[in-house]
Amino acid sequence: MNIKTNKIFKYPKVIYNEQELLDVYKKKFPKIIKEYEIFVKKTYCNPVAYKKIIKEKSKKFDIQFTKIVKGSKNSKDDFYSLLKTSINLHKNYAFNFWLISYATGEGNWAIYYVDLMESILKKLYINDEDSFLLARKSFLKTDFEIFYHKILIDSVKLIDLLKENSLKKILDSAKKVSPEKRILIYDNLISETKKLKKINPWVLSIFERHKNNRVPIYNLFNQGIDYYEENLNLRTELDNTSKIIKQTLRFAKKKLSSKDFNLLKNSYFLVKEIITTRDFIFGRKDKKLFHFWGDLNHKILNTFQKEFGKDISFLDLGDRNFLIIPWVLEKYLPKKFLKQQYKKLK
């Protein structure tokens, strides 16, 4: 094990993404340290507790976020109000989003469970490197490989369904030319397919969904034509993943002590939950959140210039603005504002 168990219970010193906020939040919201420690203690090797807390945090984040957005619409567009909205947004983000997706989801806490899983699998296949590697690969795949490789898997399905409809000739002609020159052939194929009486609803739904931008369809065709066999093998392999995991867990139950078996099972399910949480539950909030945050920060920088007569547009870092604003503004604020109003914001 690379990471010692006692190390994961303390607020981290390093996380792999957004190290900036790790330090900023520690300083600005000291309660985050306690919150972190409570969270990791409650969820240690406990995927059920993790799932329950995530559900609560996610709900809390959404409620708070809606409240902040609503409040900002009703409040004035002056510098003080905008700054207040920004700080409230950070508070909600820190405790109900960042703590989950970054401080734990991308830090040593998450890596610890990957390590734990690996070390127990090594024990299970002590003299069998191949079985260990296959189990490791399968356990780290989680269910989301299918999502990540969707283009490749769907390309096989698409080609199979088109072949069924005697469109093989057109497909074969596409194979002979480079991907850049295939677009005309693909467009022809799409219109030929649409003329067919018996058309698979899934194929039709793909063509309909991307009728304004056909790039995703071209990608599917290219993958299906250039790498059909490889993608077919990938699909088979992914289909077998859950079978391998079930077999490994059954074997582990027989061979390992109940303590090790439970650690393996729980670390596997926790890793799965961590990825689902980070990439799906919270990942889906990203777009709405950062769109609002970006607009807000832009307004803050503009209003600053209007109210205080100082140009701080050099602080405009685009998408990464949310990392520094409002904290960095402190050193540019007039003394009067700092004394009278800024204190109230903290």
Partner 1 sequence: METNEKIKKGKILLRGMSTNKGYVVGKVRIILDVSDDRLMSKELYKIKKGEILVAEMTRPLFVICMRKVVAIVTNGGGILCHAAMVSREFGLPSIANTKNATKILKTGQKVLIDANKGIIYEHKDK
Distance from C-alpha of 345 to C-alpha of 242, rounded to nearest angstrom: 51
Does position 274 interact with partner 1 (CB under 8 A)? The reply is yes
Number of residues engaging partner 1 in binding (CB under 8 A): 36
Does position 234 interact with partner 1 (CB under 8 A)? The reply is yes
* CB-based contacts of 259-268 (< 8 A; 24+ apart in sequence): 260/120, 260/123, 262/45, 263/45, 263/116, 263/120, 264/116, 264/117, 264/120, 264/121, 264/124, 266/45, 266/46, 266/47, 267/45, 267/113, 267/114, 267/116, 267/117, 267/120, 268/117, 268/139
Does position 332 interact with partner 1 (CB under 8 A)? The reply is no
Q: How far is the CB of 2 from partner 1 (least distance, A)?
A: 11
CB count in 10 Å sphere of residue 25: 27
Residue 107, strand partner residues = 15
Does position 3 interact with partner 1 (CB under 8 A)? The reply is no
**Toward partner 1, which CB reaches closer, 62 or 115?**
115
| 80: nearest Cα among 311, 329, 291 | 329
Task: Tell which positions 41-100 bind partner 1, by CB under 8 A.
Answer: none
Does position 281 interact with partner 1 (CB under 8 A)? The reply is no
Dihedral, 329, 330, 331, 333 alpha carbons, nearest 10: 80
Does position 227 interact with partner 1 (CB under 8 A)? The reply is yes
Task: Tell which positions 196-225 bind partner 1, by CB under 8 A.
Answer: 213, 215-216, 218-219, 222-223
Distance from C-alpha of 279 to C-alpha of 281, rounded to nearest angstrom: 6
**Toward partner 1, which CB reaches closer, 9 or 148?**
148
Q: How far is the CB of 21 from partner 1 (least distance, A)?
A: 13
Q: How far is the CB of 238 from partner 1 (least distance, A)?
A: 9
Q: What binding mask, one character per residue, do residues 144-173 give for partner 1 by CB under 8 A, x or -?
A: xx-xxxxxx---------------------
Residues that bind partner 1 (CB under 8 A): 16-17, 105-106, 110-111, 114, 137, 140-141, 144-145, 147-152, 179-180, 213, 215-216, 218-219, 222-223, 226-227, 230, 234, 271, 274-275, 278-279
